[in-house]
Amino acid sequence: KAGVTQTPRYLIKTRGQQVTLSCSPISGHRSVSWYQQTPGQGLQFLFEYFSETQRNKGNFPGRFSGRQFSNSRSEMNVSTLELGDSALYLCASSFISTGELFFGEGSRLTVL
């Protein structure tokens, strides 16, 4: 059974640009969550989607947005990139919105 797939794995952007990250959950999982991981800060919750609906949003500015498609695949977008947005962005899926989290390998974003 394939795990959670995130693309791209690595990307470099410059300040002011925007970026879109993609997450394909484990087959059959309907819940997708996104996290930002930075050194010393652990995992900071960004969003949670279930059946195409955003269920919860973390304490991040409006430049961070996301969506989920009917096939449960999810994307997140960060507009007007800032240096501080450099991080590993992790996606996690679960069968239901309250199930065990299965993480992907992440998309490492570097903002120059």
Binding site for another protein (CB under 8 A): 4, 31, 33, 40-43, 45, 48, 55-58, 90, 92, 94, 97-101, 103-106
Q: How far is the CB of 96 from another protein (least distance, A)?
A: 9
* Three-state SS at 85: helix
CA 19 – CA 37 distance, rounded (Å): 16
Query: From the CB of 33, what's the least distance to another protein, in Å?
Result: 4
Rounded to whole angstroms, how far apart are CA atoms 71 and 40?
34
Nearer CB in complex with another protein: 19/107: 107
> Residue 13 and residue 102: Cα distance in Å, rounded?
27
Classify the C-alpha dihedral 33-7-103-62 as positive or negative: negative
Nearer to another protein, 45 or 86 (CB): 45
CB nearer to another protein: give 87 or 92: 92
